[in-house]
Amino acid sequence: MASHIVGYPRMGPKRELKFALESFWDGKSSAQDLQKVAADLRESIWKQMTGAGIKYIPSNTFSYYDQMLDTTAMLGAVPPRYGWNGGEIGFDVYFSMARGNASVPAMEMTKWFDTNYHFIVPELGPDVNFSYASHKAVTEYKEAKALGVNTVPVLIGPVSYLLLSKPAKGVEKTFSLLSLLGKILPIYKEVISELKEAGASWIQFDEPTLVMDLESHKLESFTEAYSELESTLSGLNVLIETYFADIPAEQYKTLTSLKGVTAFGFDLGKHLFAGVVDGRNIWANDLAASLSTLKALEGVVGKDKLVVSTSCSLLHTAVDLVNETKLDKEIKSWLAFAAQKVVEVNALAKALAGEKDEEFFSANAAALASRKSSPRVTNEAVQKAAAALKGSDHRRATNVSARLDAQQKKLNLPILPTTTIGSFPQTMELRKVRREYKAKKVSEDDYIKAIKEEISKVVKLQEEFDIDVLVHGEPERNDMVEYFGEQLSGFAFSANGWVQSYGSRCVKPPIIYGDVSRPKSMTVFWSALAQSMTSRPMKGMLTGPVTILNWSFVRNDQPRFETCYQIALAIKDEVEDLEKNGITVIQIDEAALREGLPLRKSEQAFYLDWAVHSFRITNCGVQDTTQIHTHMCYSNFNDIIHSIINMDADVITIENSRSDEKLLSVFREGVKYGAGIGPGVYDIHSPRIPSAEEIADRINKMLAVLETNILWVNPDCGLKTRKYSEVKPALKNMVDAAKLLRTQL
Ligand code: GLN
Ligand code: ZN
């Protein structure tokens, strides 16, 4: 019985690749140094999988930045502005595409399906001259082979590559990306031939777009592509790998629609790669349950046709549990990171072949049983409260326009009120004092003093600039989810559970393992303190339940919505505590609401329903005069605008930096938005300082579409990553622009 791994994290157990990349980019180490770190990581991964007994071990799942960018390099599809003159693509051109350089900005980056991984979007037009310009797939195959490991080279499939691309500037409306299929297949053929020559016996094409709702012409291009490749592929075993959802059975009858079983052989029916080990979470597999699934499948496809696999690349989970020295033993026994999942896959394959490792299986069963019965997981009161939510809509009693009137009487704000999104620059000293307080090197008194000073500085600055609704700047927070997770019950934190987000950037999601509750108030102390420093309204600043959920590793023993409702109840208590303590404007950030949207349309309504409901639960109990804000980190919500309205917030601030048009078109098309709205007037992701005229110009464009009395003026996200030297002039210009326009209205 065979075992297979779809793909593996690149960063290394201690983020070795991250540090090597950043040092290379900073000019502190050479290309050879970087290549050495990368080669060592690849070698250790291949050896580890070999040692675990995996039969089909992937190669070319390593990347210096991103696998889509690697494919762009393979095809020589470098946009002209990077000045590439042919030949094998090196670090120079590669990293310029990824990160930009002194004269040219980077290529666009976007989310990889519904994960938190971001890929570099290929830009393709009718006159791209494709050429075989990166031999990485073949080189890595040979590298593994030289180490004695015969791998399955992995390529992004040609159809998914095109479907995930975007048309180059100027041809957006007229150009069909799929028309390039005939031009890229010859390069795929060259790569395949070289791999064959080098000795490969298998090849894996990742075609994840197959799980999406596809129009028939898109579906047909799969047939077209693989028929065209058929003769080149002959002699190879071909695996088409799909992940992130099951394949729509109604569309693609030839493929099984069994949940979690998404891979199939090119010669259909030959092999079934069953992704029974979840590649996206951090939980130990239920080995007994997986084994019985596999046995059932074996009955359908036959013993020699079944391969045990992961549900997707392990790229989306943490690397290795071995390095978790701080997690307590019980919780640790419930978990499996990438390295442990490899072992699970192999154990299942062996068990299926009649060589069950009884000890391993019973340890797994014991861990699962302890998770099920642990009092740390279940909190009866929370379960009851969450169950009682059903059947109610949790809507504020008064409608939004009446609420806004009541709020205005109390707040007395000018038209085009100004505000910011929450965080102010996080200086080195600030990070240091937080770190030392955590390590108990700084006393609580000294810590409070330092944070208080910071808040007071931020408050004074905002008053000086004459901003209308203030924030405290979030100096006490390292991360908008971790900060709350650390104070809620039911959360655990890993020391090294990093997951690649983009390039060298990694995130370390909290682990929600149990029922969530709030032992005591989380933000009232700081918000009340900040409010006491000013007579202007000070926004209470919370992270919303959906965002906390979507940016965590979520328990898999109850539906996501139940966990979300529990978090919502905890945040609701916090909202009401803030209100009781004199905070009249409360912002509940839902930065990640949209990214939880399921890939398939048929599942989206249900998600939006409970996600929006969860948000309403948090604030349905406040008085009319309490103003609820929310913030979102994207502007492409044209498709979910009705859900956003249904959140029933009083004011929404939205990222809008790169696309006024997209956002405003929703309202131009007649969507009625009665609540306050603050589309960001400048891009905080860039060090550029916008002039007052430029900002006024943008506000004017918005005023042409939105009613004057609902428009707010604010940057498009938190200022945490910027320097004070950038923030000060930018905010000053922002307020100047608002003031100028007020005199003209
Ligand atoms: N309030 C948060 C901040 O300003 C929001 C961050 C975000 O939207 N990602 O930092
Ligand atoms: Zn944001």
User: Would you say 482 is a known binding-site residue?
Assistant: no
Distance CA 389, CA 387 (A): 5
pLDDT score, position 688: 87
Ligand nearest 550 Cα, by number?
1
Q: Given this model, what pLDDT does residue 219 score?
A: 84
pLDDT of residue 556: 96
What sign does the dihedral 236-237-242-243 (CA atoms) show? negative
> Residue 721 above 60 pLDDT?
yes
Q: What backbone torsions phi and psi does residue 489 show, to the nearest 5 degrees?
A: -80, 150
Q: Where are the alpha helices (DSSP H) in 234-319?
A: 287-301
Split at pLDDT 50, 70, 90, the class of 634 is confident
Nearest atom in ligand 1 to the alpha carbon of residue 480 is 2
* Secondary structure element (H or E) that encloses residue 319, with its range: none
In the structure, what pLDDT confidence band is assigned to residue 729 with cuts at 50, 70 and 90? very high
Q: How far is CA 7 from the centre of its chain?
A: 18
For a ligand 1 pocket test, name from 474, 630, 652 the mutation site with the most ligand atoms within 8 angstroms of its C-beta: 474
Q: Could you identify the residue written with the tokens 């891979």?
A: 263
**Confidence grade of residue 250 (pLDDT, cut at 50, 70, 90):** low
Q: Are 272 and 307 in contact (CB under 8 A)?
A: yes
The reported pTM is 0.94
What pLDDT does residue 633 have?
85
pLDDT in tens, 487-521: 999 999 999 999 999 999 999 999 999 999 999 99
* Cα 540 to middle of ligand 1, angstroms: 13
Q: Of all atoms in ligand 1, which is nearest to the CA of residue 632? A: 8
pLDDT at 270: 64
What is the 653 CA–ligand 2 centroid distance (Å)?
A: 9
Mutate to test the pocket of ligand 1, among 423, 538, 542 (most ligand atoms within 8 A of CB): 423
Element holding 682 (H helix, E strand): none
The tens digit of pLDDT for each residue in 46-99 reads 999 999 999 999 999 999 999 999 999 999 999 999 999 999 999 999 999 999
Query: Which of 482, 589, 594, 684 to mutate to test ligand 1, by most ligand atoms within 8 A of the CB atom?
Result: 589
| Residue-level pLDDT at 248 | 72
Cβ atoms of 744 and 442 closer than 8 Å: no
Find the 637 Cα to ligand 1 centroid distance in Å: 18
Ligand 2 centroid vs 686 CA: distance in angstroms? 14
Per-residue model confidence (pLDDT) at position 49: 98
Confidence of residue 687 (pLDDT cuts 50, 70, 90): confident
What b/e string do you get for 256-273 counting C-beta neighbours within 10 Å, with b at 16 or more? bebeebbbbbbeeeebbb
Three-state SS for 285?
A: coil
pLDDT at 30 over 80: yes
Is the dihedral angle over the CA atoms 353, 358, 359, 360 positive or is it negative?
A: positive
- Is the pLDDT at 391 greater than 90? The verdict is no
Average pLDDT over residues 123-132: 95
Q: Does residue 505 have a known ligand-binding role?
A: yes
Of all protein residues, the one whose alpha carbon is nearest to atom 1 of ligand 1 is: 422
Q: What element of type H or E holds 600?
A: none
Residue 673 confidence class, pLDDT cut points 50, 70, 90 = confident
pLDDT value of position 216: 84
Q: How many Å apart are CA 283 and CA 340, to the nearest integer?
A: 10
* Cα(65) to centroid(ligand 1), Å: 26
591 CA closest ligand 1 atom index? 8
Q: Which residues have C-beta atoms less than 6 Å from ligand 1? A: 421-423, 474, 480, 541, 589, 591, 631, 633, 717-718, 720
Closest to 336 in 3D by CA, of 178, 497, 225, 134: 497
What is the token pair recorded at 1? 């019985």
Atom 6 of ligand 1: nearest residue by CA position: 718
What share of the chain has pLDDT > 90, as a percent? 82
Tokens, residue 128:
């791209």
Ligand 1 atom closest to the Cα of residue 720 is 10
Label residue 467 by pLDDT band (50, 70, 90).
very high
Please report the pLDDT score of residue 259 as a whole number: 28
Pocket test for ligand 1, best of 480, 593, 595 (most atoms within 8 A of CB): 480
Protein residue whose Cα sits closest to atom 4 of ligand 1:
718
Least confident among 349-358, 558-567, 665-674: 665-674
Q: Which amino acid belongs to residue 150?
A: N
Identify the CA nearest to 491 among candidates 521, 525, 519.
Answer: 519
pLDDT band at 213 (very low <50, low <70, confident <90, very high): confident
Q: What percentage of the chain reaches a pLDDT higher than 70? A: 96
Q: Average the pLDDT over 734-744 and give the result.
A: 97
Give the whole-angstrom CA distance, residue 188 versus residue 132.
8
Mean pLDDT score, 403-420: 98
Residue 669 has pLDDT above 90, yes or no: no
For the ranges 9-13, 231-235, 547-551, 636-640, which has the lowest average pLDDT? 636-640
Mean pLDDT of 215-222: 86
Residues 6+ apart with CB under 8 A from 594: 632, 634, 636, 637, 640
| Whole-number pLDDT of residue 261 | 31
Residue with the smallest CA separation from ligand 1 atom 5 is: 718
**Please, where are the H alpha helices in 620-723?**
641-646, 660-668, 692-703
Active site residues: 685
Q: What is the mean pLDDT of residues 344-369?
A: 97
pLDDT band, very low/low/confident/very high, at 622 (cuts 50, 70, 90) = very high
Give the ligand 1 atom nearest the CA of 543.
1
Q: How far apart are alpha carbons 95 and 106 in whole angstroms?
A: 9
Which residue's alpha carbon is at the smallest distance from atom 3 of ligand 1?
718
Looking at all shown ligands, the one closest to residue 720's CA atom is 1
State how far the Cα of 508 lies from the Cα of 184, in Å rounded to an integer. Answer: 37
Helix, coil or strand: residue 8? coil
Q: How far is the CA of 631 from the centre of ligand 2 (A)?
A: 6
Distance CA 334, CA 281 (A): 12
- For residue 620, is pLDDT > 50? yes
Give the separation between CA 491 and CA 569, rounded to whole angstroms. 15
Tell whether residue 631 is among the known ligand binding residues. yes
Which residue is listed with tokens 């393992």?
Answer: 513
Residue 103's pLDDT band (cuts 50, 70, 90): confident
Cβ burial of 346 (10 Å; 0-12, 13-18, 19+) is: buried
Tell me which residue of 633, 642, 645 sits closest to 596, measured CA to CA: 633
pLDDT of residue 527: 98
Reported as a single tens digit per residue, the pLDDT across 263-275 is 453 333 568 889 9
Does 81 show up as a binding residue in the annotation? no
589 has binding-site annotation: yes
Question: Which value does ipTM take for this structure?
Answer: 0.99
For the stretch 568-591, pLDDT in tens is 999 999 999 999 999 999 999 999
Instruction: Choose among 337, 234, 329, 330: nearest CA to 283.
Output: 337
Q: What is the mean pLDDT of residues 408-422?
A: 98
Q: Is 206 annotated as a binding residue?
A: no
For residue 626, how far is its CA from the centre of ligand 1 (angstroms)? 21
Write out pLDDT tens, residues 436-458. 999 999 999 999 999 999 999 99
Alpha helices in 502-594 (DSSP H): 524-532, 545-550, 560-580
The pLDDT of residue 55: 97
312 is in an annotated binding site: no
Residue 716 marked as a ligand binder: no
d(CA 171, CA 627): 44
Residue with tokens 């889509």: 68
Mean pLDDT score across all residues of the chain: 93
Whether 312 shows a pLDDT value over 60: the answer reads: yes
pLDDT at 665: 83
Q: What is the pLDDT of residues 153-205, one digit of tens each?
A: 999 999 999 999 999 988 888 899 999 999 999 999 999 999 999 999 999 99
Please provide the distance, in angstroms rounded to a whole number, between the alpha carbons at the two ends of the chain.
Answer: 75
- Rounded Cα distance, 284 and 26, in Å: 39
Atom 9 of ligand 1, nearest CA residue: 591
Helices H, strands E: what count in the chain? 25, 21
Which ligand is closest to the CA of 654, given by its number? 2
Nearest ligand for residue 540 CA: 1
How far, in Å, CA of 625 to CA of 584, rounded? Answer: 7
Whether pLDDT at 35 is above 50: yes
Ligand 1 centre distance from Cα of residue 404 (Å): 24
Query: DSSP readout, 159-194?
Result: HHHHHT-EEPTT-TTT--GGGGHHHHHHHHHHHHHH
Ligand 1 atom with the smallest distance to the CA of 420 is 4
Exposure class string for 675-696: b at 16+ Cβ within 10 A, else e: bbbbbbbbbbeeeebbebeebb
